[in-house]
Amino acid sequence: MPDLQNPRVAVYLDFDNIVMSWYDRVHGRNSYSRDRQRIVEDPTVPEIAERLAAATVDVGAIIDYAASFGTLVLTRAYADWSQPVNADYRSQLVARAVDLVQLFPAAAYAKNGADIRLAVDTVEDMFRLPDLTHVVIVAGDSDYVPLAQRCKRLGRVVVGVGVAGSTAKSLAAACDEFTAYDTLPGVPRPETKKADASAPATRSRRKKPQDPAAGLLERAIRLETERADEEWVHLSAVKNLLKRMDPSFSEKEQGHRAFSDFVKAYPAVAELDESTNIVRVRLSPDR
């Protein structure tokens, strides 16, 4: 049986599903279906490009959430990567060591060709890698219910991630834990689509000057706080999670002697409690 004291995580993303679902969440129900032909023909048309930018999926938020459960052993994303709407994500995904699985839809407008391939790969991986403890399924279709049930029967903890309003209730019920993509740390909640479609993109542009290290620290603390269900969490746990999120991170390369010094450099993000032998950290009250 897998050792839950040494959690090892596999992540499977039905990428087409999450991109389409988030587009609908941002722009309104069935928006992707209405815009699909224009997206396929030329996604660089200003109006379409703006709508796509406003509905950009934060892949990092998903992967960092998965890392909060343990060491990421493998991460796969399934899509037709020749499509421009997906191709724009390739560099971002490769930078996070995600394996890109190429799918060739049998029909011109096949909505979700990932179901069978993703399910087969997942079951194969569970037998090939018996030490896997967690399976994270990023999708929303009820087609994945049998997969979630099979993973649970094989002794794995099943975590689902999907877009609110586009996820089948049966899939959420089949998982040990299910989280809406909308609620992940760093993902802005879309406003009711009465405002101009460019507004979310404008907000995104305003956030870009934020120090990446500060954003990484904030996300790590939020995830650990949610996991532990405590306001104050162990500094060592936050550091371990942050290193899983970004293995290249080094506080020394950031110019700090210790991780606690790194945290102290961002008082607007976090505050430390060093009154005991166990150093703890929490988000600053104004976050």
pLDDT tens-digit series, residues 252-275: 888 899 999 999 999 999 999 999
Q: Where does residue 57 rank: exposed (0-12), middle (13-18), buried (19+ CB within 10 A)?
A: buried
CATH fold for domain 212-283: Nucleotidyltransferase; domain 5 (3.30.420)
For domain 8-207, the CATH class is alpha beta
Confidence of residue 3 (pLDDT cuts 50, 70, 90): confident
Q: Where are the domains of the chain?
A: 8-207, 212-283
* Amino acid identity for residue 37 in this structure: Q
Average per-residue pLDDT in the chain? 88
By the 8 A CB rule, do 244 and 67 touch?
Answer: yes
71 Cβ contact partners less than 8 Å away, ≥ 6 residues apart: 7, 8, 9, 244
Confidence of residue 61 (pLDDT cuts 50, 70, 90): very high
